[in-house]
């Protein structure tokens, strides 16, 4: 286990053994060999790092002893500063973790202006964690690849795709994904992914392309040029989300997507539509509210703007709204009613951006 130092402004022995004697080049073999139990300390420096070649790491971490890469300010103090690695539109990738560089934990780093990805793993790169990182203005994906990953409090902007995972399960929390020229977030085929407390907006594509067992909780999808959410596999779940201002559908369930569930999520009256392309089995979008949700508040149509009792409040526990598949007793003696709650798809797919009559009107989910 070793502490390794990188500082473009260091003037010591250039052997990476201390802050004073830090390596000055990001492509030094000692920098790229960080491995299990090592910590690579990177000072922000007085200017961006501009590697002379792609940074291909050669070591690997382990589940019990990850390889750590940590960004600091110019004094090697952690204050949220991010050392910046600038590809200058000539390098392919910022950090390349390849296929065997597992269990890298990376904190406080920024990658920009690479012709391909800001940082990349692969479909077999396991257990990597990114915290407080920013991928911006890269030619392909900001954050690319990885499986069994965690991306926390990261930003991805101005890339082609903001974040695209490689395979298998992962967790994304507290992300900000915006202004990417294609999709904001892409979840790969037939995997599980949990995405919470994230914002994906103003991407020129989908806000999120969801897949098998993707769970979106407490997220905001807004103003994406295509669908705010596009689900193309089974059992996607949206819980407590705000879905507004898409250029096409708020949520689009494809012909191969079975049972997309929407729970207690806000979609404005007249502002969004759902696509339901293949009847009641494939492409079905099921929406419901819990027993204490005022459906008018949920739909954005409440005249009193709150949850106090009034003639404009319509609680699910005694709702007169149309019911999907009847009331269902879940075992506690209380009948929950599955209602449209502002999401009304049509069998023909509805109308994009709020057209085609697929708006809030209390109809059954067909």
Q: How many other C-beta atoms lie within 10 A of the C-beta of residue 71?
A: 24
| Residue 51 token pair | 């590697």
The mean-pLDDT minimum among 244-248, 259-263, 268-272, 312-316 falls in 312-316
* pLDDT reported for residue 98: 80
| Domains contained in the chain, CATH given | 1-168 (2.160.20.10), 185-289+328-366 (no CATH)
CA–CA gap between residue 90 and residue 50 (Å, rounded):
10
* pLDDT reported for residue 255: 66
| Strand 95-96 relative to strand 119-120, pairing | parallel
CA–CA gap between residue 4 and residue 19 (Å, rounded):
9
Q: Are 155 and 110 in contact (CB under 8 A)?
A: no
* pLDDT reported for residue 302: 53
Is pLDDT at 155 greater than 70 in this prediction?
yes
Q: Are 269 and 278 in contact (CB under 8 A)?
A: no
* pLDDT reported for residue 145: 85
Q: Are 146 and 98 in contact (CB under 8 A)?
A: no
What is the per-residue pLDDT across 274-326, written as a single tens digit (0 to 9) for each? 655 443 444 556 665 544 444 555 455 555 544 444 444 444 433 333 333 33
In this structure, the chain runs to a length of 366
| Residue 134 token pair | 């920013």
* pLDDT reported for residue 237: 87
| Residue 341 token pair | 């709650």
Q: Which of 291, 306, 293, 314 is nearest to 362 (CA)?
A: 314
Report helix, strand or coil for 252.
strand
Q: How many other C-beta atoms lie within 10 A of the C-beta of residue 64?
A: 8
pTM: 0.80
């Amino acid at each position: 286990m070793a502490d390794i130092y990188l500082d473009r402004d260091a003037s010591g022995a250039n052997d990476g053994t201390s802050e004073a004697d830090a390596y000055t080049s990001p492509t030094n073999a000692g920098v790229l060999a960080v491995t299990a139990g090592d910590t690579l300390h990177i000072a922000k420096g007085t200017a961006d790092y501009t590697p002379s070649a792609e940074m291909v790491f050669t070591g690997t971490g382990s589940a019990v002893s990850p390889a750590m890469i940590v960004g600091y300010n110019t004094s090697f103090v952690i204050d949220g500063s991010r050392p910046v690695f600038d590809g200058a539109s000539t390098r392919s990738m910022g950090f390349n973790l390849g296929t065997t560089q597992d269990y890298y934990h990376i904190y406080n780093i920024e990658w920009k202006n690479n012709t391909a990805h800001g940082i990349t793993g692969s479909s077999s790169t396991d257990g990597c964690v990114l915290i407080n990182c920013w991928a911006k203005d890269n030619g392909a994906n900001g954050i690319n690849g990885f499986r069994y990953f965690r991306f926390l409090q990261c930003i991805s902007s101005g890339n082609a795709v903001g974040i695209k995972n490689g395979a298998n399960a992962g967790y994304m929390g507290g992300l900000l994904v915006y202004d990417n020229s294609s999709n904001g977030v892409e979840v790969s085929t037939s995997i599980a992914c949990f995405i919470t407390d994230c914002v994906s907006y103003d991407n020129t594509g989908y806000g999120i392309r969801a897949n098998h067992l993707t769970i979106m909780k407490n997220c905001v999808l807004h103003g994406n040029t295509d669908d705010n959410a596009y689900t193309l596999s089974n059992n996607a779940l949206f819980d407590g989300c705000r879905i507004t201002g898409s250029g096409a559908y708020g949520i689009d369930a494809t012909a191969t997507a079975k049972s997309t569930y929407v729970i207690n999520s806000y979609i404005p009256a007249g502002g969004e539509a759902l696509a339901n392309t293949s009847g009641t089995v494939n492409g079905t979008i099921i929406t419901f509210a819990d027993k204490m949700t005022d459906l008018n508040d949920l739909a954005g149509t409440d005249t009193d703007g709150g949850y106090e009792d009034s003639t404009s409040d319509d609680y699910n526990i005694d709702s007169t709204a149309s019911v999907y598949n009847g009331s269902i007793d879940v075992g506690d003696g209380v009948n929950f009613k599955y209602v449209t709650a502002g999401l009304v798809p049509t069998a023909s797919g509805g109308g994009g951006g709020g057209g085609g009559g697929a708006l809030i009107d209390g109809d059954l989910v067909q």
